[in-house]
């Protein structure tokens, strides 16, 4: 397998120490050693040495959620996410992707989203229609919200409306490229999608990015891939926190007791942990999960649920267990994908979004 020397070094060094073994959300959910970063390194090493074929490890390669908990906890500095994504790219180039991944990639290329959706719901269409006029500010909703959690996308629009913000919403958004990046890494198709999105965003002075997956892509990955965005890009949480500080959103603390599920894209990748907490404290009484901020545990997503739904259910159930362990009865999310995952298994724990706190 063709792999950069840097990735080979990480693969050959990442084994046997078990330093990140306890933190992998997929490994903890399945209880399988094969699900861990260490096992992926060993599998890739065997392919590099010609002991097994690339196809034999691809199911394992797509068990990784790329949350970066292993990278964060590795004191020796090895990066399993890097070599996992490079292996995905190589499999794509060699035509050795699993069929279930190829189908999602084809959807991304044909429709702009992995789900193959072409129409948004009627409520979101109406909300977007009310904000078709060109303004300086764009609310970028993203594929997950637009096609898989329409009600939350509508609430995000209502939050900005409540604050009296003049903003635009696109009926047809250009995909940010995060889904292709997850599925096949830094392929030409990924970079082309990102470049097209950047061009669309540059028609605005400020772009408020609702989904942390898109925010990570636009604010971090675009730079890594040489894609320039001239617009001022800000996360939804940071923007809403500023609206509260400026008095544009009048918050009333109800005394509701909640904990917050940090999205890793914000807390680990973009190093943004406090804006969401500022919002929540304005509306409720906030306590913390045992693992929070940079130490957060991923709670599942919509994309991986397309090909491993039972495991994603287990991941979400474990995070619900974490919430119950600190006596929490309500979990607030800031990532629509985690909201959907947790909501599906919540049981007697209430799952609400930041938007729910603000507009109900």
Among 187, 208, 242, the domain-final residue is 242
Could you tell me if residue 156 is inside a domain? Answer: yes
Question: Which alpha helices (H) appear in the chain, and where do they start and end?
Answer: 5-13, 25-30, 37-48, 58-61, 69-73, 80-93, 99-111, 122-129, 143, 150-162, 178-184, 188-201, 212-216, 222-224, 236-245, 264, 274-283, 309-325, 336-343, 354-359
Could you tell me if residue 258 is inside a domain? Answer: yes
The answer to whether residues 211 and 285 belong to one domain is: no
Taking phi first (over 0 means left), then psi (-120 to 50 degrees means alpha), and beta for anything else, what does residue 31 get? Answer: left
The answer to whether residues 210 and 272 belong to one domain is: no
Could you tell me if residue 60 is inside a domain? Answer: yes
The answer to whether residues 194 and 285 belong to one domain is: no
- How far apart are alpha carbons 278 and 282 in whole angstroms? 6
Could you tell me if residue 49 is inside a domain? Answer: yes
The answer to whether residues 185 and 229 belong to one domain is: yes
Question: pTM here?
Answer: 0.95
Q: Which residues contact 41 (CB under 8 A, 6 or more apart)?
A: 10, 11, 12, 14, 15, 80, 83
* Domain that residue 199 falls in: 122-242
CATH of the domain at 354: 3.40.50
The answer to whether residues 133 and 50 belong to one domain is: no
The answer to whether residues 136 and 233 belong to one domain is: yes
- How far apart are alpha carbons 192 and 203 in whole angstroms? 18
Structure tokens at 130: 């009310």
Contact 10, 44 (CB under 8 A): no
Could you tell me if residue 84 is inside a domain? Answer: yes
Could you tell me if residue 116 is inside a domain? Answer: no
Question: pLDDT truncated to tens, each residue of the chain (360 aa)?
Answer: 677 888 788 888 876 677 777 889 999 999 988 888 888 988 999 999 999 999 999 999 999 999 999 988 877 778 889 999 999 999 999 999 999 999 999 999 999 999 999 999 999 999 999 999 999 999 999 999 999 999 999 999 999 999 999 999 998 999 999 999 999 999 999 999 999 999 999 999 999 999 999 999 999 999 999 999 999 999 999 999 999 999 999 999 999 999 999 999 999 999 999 999 999 999 999 999 999 999 999 999 999 999 999 999 999 999 999 999 999 999 999 999 999 999 999 999 999 999 999 998
> How many structural domains compose the chain?
3
DSSP for residue 175? P
The answer to whether residues 63 and 127 belong to one domain is: no
């Amino acid at each position: 397998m063709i792999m950069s020397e840097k990735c080979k070094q990480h693969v050959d060094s990442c084994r046997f120490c078990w330093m990140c073994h306890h933190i992998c959300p997929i490994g903890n959910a399945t209880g399988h050693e094969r699900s861990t970063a260490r096992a992926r390194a060993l599998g890739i090493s065997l392919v590099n040495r010609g002991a097994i074929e690339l196809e034999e490890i691809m199911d394992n390669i797509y068990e990784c959620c790329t949350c970066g908990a292993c990278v964060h906890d590795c004191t020796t500095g090895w990066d399993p996410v890097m070599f996992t994504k490079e292996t995905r790219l190589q499999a794509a180039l060699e035509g050795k992707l699993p069929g279930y991944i190829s189908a999602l990639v084809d959807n991304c290329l044909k429709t702009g989203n992995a789900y193959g959706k072409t129409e948004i719901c009627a409520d979101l269409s109406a909300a977007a229609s009310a904000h078709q006029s060109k303004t300086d500010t764009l609310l970028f909703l993203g594929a997950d919200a637009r096609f898989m959690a329409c009600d939350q996308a509508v609430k995000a629009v209502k939050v900005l409306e409540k604050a009296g913000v003049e903003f635009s919403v696109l009926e047809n958004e250009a995909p940010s490229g995060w889904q292709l990046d997850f599925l096949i890494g830094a392929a030409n198709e990924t970079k082309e999608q990102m470049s097209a999105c950047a061009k669309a965003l540059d028609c605005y002075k400020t772009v408020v990015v609702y989904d942390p997956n898109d925010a990570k892509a636009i604010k971090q990955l675009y730079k890594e891939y040489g894609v320039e965005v001239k617009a001022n890009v800000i996360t939804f949480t940071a923007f809403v926190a500023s609206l509260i500080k400026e008095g544009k959103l009048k918050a009333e603390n109800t005394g509701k007791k909640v904990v917050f599920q940090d999205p890793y894209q914000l807390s680990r990748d973009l190093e943004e942990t406090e804006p969401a907490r500022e919002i929540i404290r304005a509306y409720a009484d906030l306590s913390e999960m045992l693992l929070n901020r940079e130490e957060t545990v991923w709670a599942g997503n919509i994309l991986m649920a397309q090909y491993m739904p039972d495991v994603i259910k287990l991941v979400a159930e474990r995070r619900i267990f974490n919430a119950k362990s600190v006596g929490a009865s309500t979990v607030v999310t800031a990532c629509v994908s985690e909201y959907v995952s947790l909501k599906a298994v919540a049981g007697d724990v209430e799952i609400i979004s930041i938007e729910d706190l603000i507009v109900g």
